[in-house]
Chain A
Amino acid sequence: MYGKKVKLRFIFIASILASVILTVFLILQSLKDNVVYFQSPSEIKSLVEISKKKIRVGGMVKKQSIAIRSDEVNFIITDFKNEINVIYSGAVPNLFAEGKGVVAEGFLKDKNYFSATKILAKHDENYKPPEVKEALGDK
């Protein structure tokens, strides 16, 4: 009934559509598994259950909270309402200092302890994580 050309074109469009749908599905699916959520110490305090997924915690490094040993760095992240202890072994960026903004990536042990796998550096010494800015309001 239809010419060969129409048929070919139909197959062509159908295969494009199918692969686009497949691509989008695939991407969204693995996005779900690999997204890292960002939480402030206060948000962690209000959690109902501790998830095993990787998260990021942002805030300021509490003054006089950094303690260094040969294999570990411990410090406290605060958003001036709540705080959380961080245990970390790994490289520390240069802009990491007491009273400055910090973003740590890792896993929650419980609501008070966070085991970090990475500490993120920012180029700007006055940088505050946007969430911290929000949390601090006008300060």
Chain B
Amino acid sequence: MLASQIGYYSLILGLFFSILLSGYSVKDFKIKSKVINQNLLSLSFLQLFFVIISFISLILSFINSDFSNETVFNNSHTTKPLFYKISGTWGNHEGSLLLWLLVLTLFIFIFLIKSKEQPKKYRILTLLFQQIIIIGFFLFVLMTSNPFNYLFPTPKEGLGLNPILQDPALAIHPPILYLGYVGTSIIFSASLAAVTQNYVSREWAYHIKKWILVSWIFLTIGIMLGSIWAYYELGWGGFWFWDPVENVSLMPWLTLTALLHSIIVLEKRATLKSWVIILSITSFTLSMCGTFLVRSGILNSVHTFANDPSRGVFILIFLFILIILSLVIFFFYFKDNNKDLNNFFLLSKETSILINNWFMMYFLSVVLIGTVYPIFLDVIASEKISVGPPFYHKLIIPFLIPFFIFMSLGPGLKWIKSKIDNKNSLIITFIISIILSLFIIKNLTTEILYYTVLVSVAFFLFFTTLKELFTKKFNNSSQIIAHFGFSLLILSILFNSILSSEIITNMKIGKKYTYNNSEIFFKKIEEKSKSNFNSIIAHFEIKNENGKIFELKPEIRIYNQPVIITSEADIKTTLLEDKFLVMNLVKGNEYFNVRYQEKPFMIWIWISVLLISLGGLMSFFKKQYEK
């Protein structure tokens, strides 16, 4: 009760300070001095402070199960463990928007502190553009999704959090993902400010690259966490379903990856200016669209939760204003005062990065069309369709082949004008890759040609980056590690999809299921009760071809509030293989639906994503002492 009041009024105070801050920065913009007014920093801090207070009060309301607060009532329950009471704060629409706001204000505050050596007018303009976004979000939260709505009479018990969201990976997934999403807002504001000030330069690129890295790292890890969650919680044993909600997080990742590469060209060679600006605007727009699509309920997805169309309209209008604003600024202010584009040679690092960008844009358009087309068709012709994995696989996988070859050769090139060094060793590596993959693939699958080509190019990238990792001095290790991680990721995914095996059957307790020399034995079930759910734990004994016996204990949880049944897969992870068993309850039946999967190299998928992020992290820290 009290906490809600404090939270609500802090939000209003936060909005008040945002408006004050905008006014002050306009005033300070006109004053001719080299440094920005210290008041701006204080105001930015106050704005952040009140949003933090508001966020903490919401967390407190959740911890205390204060059901006079509508958000808490809708999403919490007294029997829920403390950890999920806290994570429930951002597991719902209202709370997650408050989190957006928190990260927005936090990032602009950090930006102000960390950009002291940048020109004053540029800093103030970035602050101003960021305030437009922040005020928009304040209004959005206060008008359409106030997390502090008061309920009277106070209900005795809450409705509970969807049990499928009560999971450690999903508890930290939204904050991490949002750090990535919101990071793009700083890139957006900063690039608009840089365009108006005609400051799109090598210094600017050097300074904004860190923000790009921050968003990119968080987005990468955020996507991975969501993927891990889907792997063990949704019970399909897959980690990527090309579901619309997954796609909307992949799209800003693709543009950020493109931006991350082209900003290096801007930093070293002072070209590709307009392209960098376009990518910055696109990344932020896609992040906003992601929030909009997930929250508006337009997407027909396995991840869709209850939602409200009026919110969608608000975000959509807000988004349009921002896009129009950025386009106007881009067209009227953008000046390319650097005309030395002529020395752009075909065989150079610039070209190879440009090629990377082309591929990213192609992947982006595939994902974008696959995601948006069903919505479009629904609105235009009210036909219901869905676009499944075959569409994406068919359009993306063949293009990975040239992509990998360029990715193997590109980083070895030099700036401006280059030639391919040590051709012989590259050719030898390539031949070894082909022979090796032919040797491996031959016995595994019937589609030999298709997979051999794919695995060969992946191996080629793997070996070239591996070689660089050991031979090159440590001057560019961040890039090499990220690329090495990427080749490892693709190899793991390929072998995982070729070698995975699956058994689905319906079983009664005490029965055995045998298939090619292996055996699944459904020993028994035991029942346990926890504070907010009852669980049925099954004991399965699995004997594989080599006669090795091991036990897996999948679980079915019957949550009491709301009454939802979830399956918890039991996964035995080793470096070589994941053994995955999940069972489902079919109501009013003695049969259990059992799904057993052997998934090789699963863990390497996560490890390689971590390696990719590590590459980003190293690049983030590297530049600081080099300066």
Residues of A participating in the B interface, judged by any CB pair closer than 8 Å: 5, 19, 23-24, 26-28, 30-31, 34-38, 56, 66, 68-73, 89-98, 120-125, 130-131
Residue of A34, A93, A120, A131 touching B235 (CB-CB under 8 A): A93
* Nearest 10 interchain pairs by C-beta: A38-B384, A34-B391, A91-B595, A94-B565, A97-B587, A68-B591, A92-B593, A35-B385, A34-B390, A36-B386
Minimum CB–CB distance for B384 against chain A, Å:
3
Are A68 and B385 within 8 A (Cβ)? no
Are B593 and A124 within 8 A (Cβ)? no
Is B563 at the interface (CB under 8 A from chain A)? yes
Q: Can you spell out 17 A-B residue pairs with CB atoms less than 8 angstroms apart?
A: A34-B390, A34-B394, A35-B391, A36-B385, A37-B383, A37-B384, A56-B384, A56-B386, A73-B593, A89-B504, A91-B236, A91-B584, A91-B595, A94-B565, A94-B567, A95-B564, A124-B305
Chain A residues within an 8 Å CB radius of B162: 123-124
Task: Fill in one digit per residue for B559-593: 1 if any A CB lies within 8 Å of its CB, else 0.
Answer: 00011111100000000000000101111110101
Are A23 and B365 within 8 A (Cβ)? yes
Contacts A94-B566, A125-B564; is A23 near B234 (CB within 8 Å)? no
Residues of B participating in the A interface, judged by any CB pair closer than 8 Å: 162, 164, 234-236, 300, 302-306, 342, 358, 362, 365-366, 369-370, 373, 383-388, 390-391, 394-395, 504-507, 556, 562-567, 582, 584-589, 591, 593, 595
Are A125 and B342 within 8 A (Cβ)? no
Contacts A35-B385, A121-B234; is A92 near B584 (CB within 8 Å)? yes
Chain B residues within an 8 Å CB radius of A27: 365-366, 369-370, 395
Cα distance A90–B237 when bound, in Å?
13
Are A70 and B391 within 8 A (Cβ)? no
Contacts A30-B391, A91-B235; is A130 near B384 (CB within 8 Å)? yes
Minimum CB–CB distance for B167 against chain A, Å:
12
Chain B residues within an 8 Å CB radius of A68: 506, 586, 589, 591
Secondary structure at the A interface, as helix, strand, loop or mixed, is mixed
Chain A residues within an 8 Å CB radius of B585: 94
Are A37 and B391 within 8 A (Cβ)? no
Are A38 and B236 within 8 A (Cβ)? no
Chain B residues within an 8 Å CB radius of A130: 300, 384
Minimum CB–CB distance for A95 against chain B, Å:
7
Secondary structure at the B interface, as helix, strand, loop or mixed, is mixed
Are A71 and B506 within 8 A (Cβ)? yes
Minimum CB–CB distance for B356 against chain A, Å:
15
Chain A residues within an 8 Å CB radius of B395: 26-27, 30
Cα distance A68–B588 when bound, in Å?
10
Cα distance A104–B394 when bound, in Å?
23
Closest to B564 in A: A125
Cα distance A96–B565 when bound, in Å?
10
Cα distance A19–B359 when bound, in Å?
11
Chain A residues within an 8 Å CB radius of B505: 70-71
Are B303 and A123 within 8 A (Cβ)? yes
20 further A-B contacts with Cβ under 8 Å, apart from A31-B391, A34-B394, A37-B385, are A30-B391, A31-B370, A31-B387, A34-B387, A34-B390, A35-B385, A36-B386, A36-B387, A38-B383, A66-B587, A70-B507, A94-B565, A94-B567, A94-B584, A97-B586, A121-B235, A122-B304, A123-B162, A123-B164, A123-B305
